[in-house]
Amino acid sequence: MGNNVRRRLAGSVAAGAAGVLLVGCTVNVPDPAAPKPSPSASTLATPTITPGHDAAAVAEKDLPLAAGGTLAPGEPVTVSTRLEEVPGWSVVHSALQGETRYKKTDGCVLAVRVSVNQGPLVVPGDDVASTKELFTYLNAGVAVDSLKPGSLRWGEDSDKPQQSVEFLSLESSSASGGQSAIVLARLFSAPASSVYVSLACPDDNTLTQARGETVSRLVVVPPS
């Protein structure tokens, strides 16, 4: 039963991420005989108001991994991207079953995916453990103890002080074979949804440049 549930999760996470996840590593492939998953909810879904939840207060503070419990259950965190404003970048597809993908003229590829219904991977009240479960599910060979903290911008209000949201990340260098890549992911335990960001480039130099460009145009959006 548990294995079947995890296979169904592949439709909302692994299918969209497999092409760019941890370049040079093995990615689990869902069983073709498994039931077909339902499409992931669009990142443009209508917000749900949770009685008694002060969403504005949550959005005005940093969200470290330890503070995941301050989010309301049910409504996913989303992501806003404007990378097409940067010369050399173009949209491959947008909001396709929760994923937006960009490519750059130098060969870099960015994938941003929001997935819902991640309950079978959630460790209640623990975003760190939940996120490690997500990494392990996507690639059983990942040494989760080697994951490092990373962060992205949190909140869309440009007229307010910038806040950050903490992720776990894993980097690989082209010096070890394959492409240079960085993956940032977080499974938010309260809403049982995840945000996955993968950037892969031909080499370390192009990755460094692309990383700066993407960080400036990618914002993680708190639930309303």
pLDDT at 181 over 70: yes
Tell me the residue length of the chain.
224
pLDDT band at 13 (very low <50, low <70, confident <90, very high): very low
Say if residues 100 and 112 touch (Cβ distance below 8 Å).
yes
Supply the DSSP symbol for 54. Answer: -
Lowest-confidence segment of 61-70, 153-162, 169-178, 184-193 by average pLDDT: 153-162
pLDDT band at 224 (very low <50, low <70, confident <90, very high): confident
pLDDT at 197 over 50: yes
pLDDT at site 135: 97
DSSP one-letter string for 82-139: -GGGSTTEEEEEEEETTEEEEEETTS-EEEEEEE---GGG--TT-HHHHHHHHHHHH-
Contacts of 121 (CB under 8 A, 6+ apart): 6, 9, 130, 133, 134, 137, 187, 194
Q: What pTM value is reported for the model?
A: 0.78
CA dist., res. 14 & res. 21, Å (int): 9
State pLDDT tens for residues 75-97. 899 999 999 999 999 999 999 98
Amino acid present at 75: E
pLDDT band at 57 (very low <50, low <70, confident <90, very high): confident
pLDDT band at 169 (very low <50, low <70, confident <90, very high): very high
**Of 185 and 216, more confident:** 185
- Share above pLDDT 90 across residues of the chain, in percent, rounded to a whole number: 60
